[in-house]
Amino acid sequence: MRSCKVMLLCLALTFWASGMALAEENSTQIPQRIVSVNFCTDELLLSLVGPERIAAITQFDRGPEAEVKDGGIKKVAGSVEAVLSCNPDLLLAGRFSRQTTVRYFERSGIPVLVFGVPKSFEDIYADIRKLSQAVGENEKGERIIKEMQDELADLNPKKPVRDPGACSSCQKMNEFVPKRAVVLQSERFVPGRGTFENSIMEAAGLLNVAAQIGIRDYGKLDLEKLIELEPEVLIFTSDQKSGRTIRGEVLSHPAIRNALPQARIVTVPSSLLNCGSPASVEAVRILVKETSR
């Protein structure tokens, strides 16, 4: 009886050691069947690895404005069953992805990476590094970050003052004076400090008047206050221009037309602001181009 127990113990130890070795081996393997159940992690993943290593991405429609194409990769809804059918070796999710799916795979032992909502380009760089390390593409991730940084540096040059007399604090003729801008959203919401829209504006050399008056994250801006701030640039996203909605009709308000007749209207594709990704640099490019005329 004792020898039988010893034998069973030895077998158990052998299986445990084998399991630990297999787990260690799997932890060092580069994932080959990656599944993303979040639209924004889709974009990051597609910029780092080829379709042959992606088992599925979210079925969310990218639309004609999408900067990164999916190459016909399988789409899934994000349920546990749908993801299981893909036999993933790495799951990517966002803060608002289905929590039942995220928790299930976290408990199953399959690696899961959950990404938050970036509020700055530094956040994007951190996300790229986090994912590139997980998929074994560190060099490519660093190359993408370097390209973004170089492009942003080129897009935000110091410009001569347009009217030195209009700026009492300007000491030099060549000191840069940022244009005052605001992103208008439905129901009078505007993004302030600590938002990705604010980072986009800063990268384009614009002064976000919402941040200037102390708005953090997203706050409401009354029409009277908007007119008082006298922004030189009014920024809309493309989805605000589609259909007869409050979003698309804001500009028709006679008070804005009369009080801000010289304000430049700039429309940025919504796809460039929905997620923090390498494609976000294009939003900066659009703002620089449209506001430097």
Closest CA to 234 of 249, 255, 256: 256
Domain-wise residue ranges, the chain: 31-151, 158-291
Global confidence as pTM: 0.78
Highest mean pLDDT among 56-70, 75-89, 264-278: 75-89
- Check whether 104 has a pLDDT greater than 70: yes
* Residue 140 backbone phi and psi in degrees, to 5: -65, -40
For domain 31-151, the CATH architecture is: 3-Layer(aba) Sandwich (3.40)
Burial class (CB in 10 A: 0-12, 13-18, 19+), 46: buried
> How crowded is the C-beta side of 184, counted as CA atoms within 13 Å?
28
C-beta of residue 277 within 8 angstroms of C-beta of residue 40? yes
The mean pLDDT of 15-25, rounded to a whole number, is: 47
Residue with tokens 């190459």: 71
Do 31-151 and 158-291 show the same overall fold? yes
At residue 24, the pLDDT reads 47
CATH class of this structure's domain 158-291: alpha beta
The mean pLDDT of 230-245, rounded to a whole number, is: 76
Give just the sign of the alpha carbon dihedral 129, 145, 48, 35: positive
Length of the chain: 293
Distance CA 88, CA 188 (A): 43
Burial class (CB in 10 A: 0-12, 13-18, 19+), 163: exposed
